[in-house]
Amino acid sequence: MNSRGFAIFALFMVQVLYGLNYTFAKTVMNENFVKPFALTVLRVGGATILFWLFSIWLPKEKVEQKDYFKFFIAAVFGVAINMLFFLKGVELTTPIHASAIVTITPVIILILSSIILKEKITTLKISGVALAFFGALALTLFGDSEREGDNIILGNTFILLNTFFYSVYIILIKQLTAKYHPFTFIKWLFLFGFFMVLPFGYNELQEVQWQTFTPYISFSVLFVVIGATFGTYLLNPIALNKLKASTVGVFIYLQPVIAGLFALIMGADTIDTLKIIAMVLIFSGVYLVTLKPKKIN
């Protein structure tokens, strides 16, 4: 598999992990095992330990003094604010609502990419975004879930805010991934992020009754930490190093599909013609965006 092919595979795996994360995280929070901010601390803290441990076996890379501030700013948007809003939003809304809302990310990233990174937005890319957007919109408007949140409107608002801050993060790290190995900046990103989220979740963390955890809840927490955090934040920079930020962003359209399929497997949703059509539109849109433009001689 060539480097571009591997980058696309990495992006797909990121969406799989995120897609499953909605159900696992919501189960942990809604059954009152771990509250959102406490789960954020566990998520960031656990991933921080893993990144620093793995970095022991990797070549050491010197970081320029001026870039530490960039790491700090990236941590504000991509770890602290982003994750606090995300998990609080997932607690209050449904997995399908949350996964559908994040599909506006490519729109924000396309705008930011053209302004900040001066990326050219081709007709093919616009067509792919539009096609995938309509597929995601169909799931958003007509998708159903048996699990109701405490406050759908507030939860959706938090997810919307998370989406904006995540988009800013994607743009910010695009330049850093070209300069440093993913482990180099991500271990610093999470270390800064951990100290940012700790004050918000410390009290909730004290309330966790660890002895009440069932095997499923324990697995769910580990999945949030290892799969949906360590795995995704490792794979995303690898993809960003080979692909445009706008291409990375459009893959987020796969999340409602994966979240919906997982809900189907878990018996929490049903499949119908509309959902099949929506999924075909999303996959077709992602395919168009990943096509490399032909060079004109």
Query: Once rounded to an integer, what is the mean pLDDT over residues 11-24?
Result: 92
Q: From residue 296, give the alpha-carbon distance in Å to each of 88, 205, 293.
A: 48, 58, 9
* Residue 270: per-residue pLDDT: 64
How confident is the model at residue 296, as a pLDDT? Answer: 46
How much is the pTM? 0.81
Residue with tokens 């620093």: 52
For 239-285, what is each residue's pLDDT tens digit?
777 777 667 767 877 888 888 788 778 765 666 777 778 778 877 88
Query: Of the candidates 142, 162, 135, which has an alpha carbon nearest to the alpha carbon of residue 40?
Result: 162
- The answer to the question of residue 296 being in a domain is no
Beta carbons within 8 Å of 111's beta carbon, 6+ residues apart: none
Reported as a pLDDT band with limits 50, 70 and 90, residue 297 is: very low
Cα Dmax for the chain: 67
* Nearest of 89, 70, 81 to residue 30 by alpha carbon: 89
Write out pLDDT tens, residues 177-186.
778 877 888 8
Query: What is the extent of the structural domain holding 32?
Result: 3-290
Residue 295 within any structural domain of the chain: no
Residue 74 in any domain: the answer is yes
Average pLDDT on 213-224 reads: 96
The whole-number pLDDT of residue 209 equals 95
**Is the residue at 66 inside a domain?**
yes
| DSSP helix/strand/coil, 209 | coil
- What pLDDT shows up at residue 150? 62
CB-CB neighbours of 211 under 10 Å: 5
Q: Is residue 82 part of a domain?
A: yes
| Number of compact structural domains in the chain | 1
Domain membership flag for residue 297: no
Question: Can you tell me the mean pLDDT for 165-194?
Answer: 85
| Share above pLDDT 90 across residues of the chain, in percent, rounded to a whole number | 34
- Does residue 88 lie within any of the structural domains? yes
Task: Tell whether 136 is covered by a domain.
Answer: yes
pLDDT at residue 247, as a whole number: 74
Q: Which of 109-118, 195-204, 238-247, 252-261 has the highest mean pLDDT?
A: 195-204
Q: Residue 1: is its pLDDT beyond 60?
A: no
What gap in Å lies between CA 186 and CA 148, rounded to an integer?
35
pLDDT at 148 (0 to 100): 58
| Kind and range of the H or E run holding 52 | helix 36-55
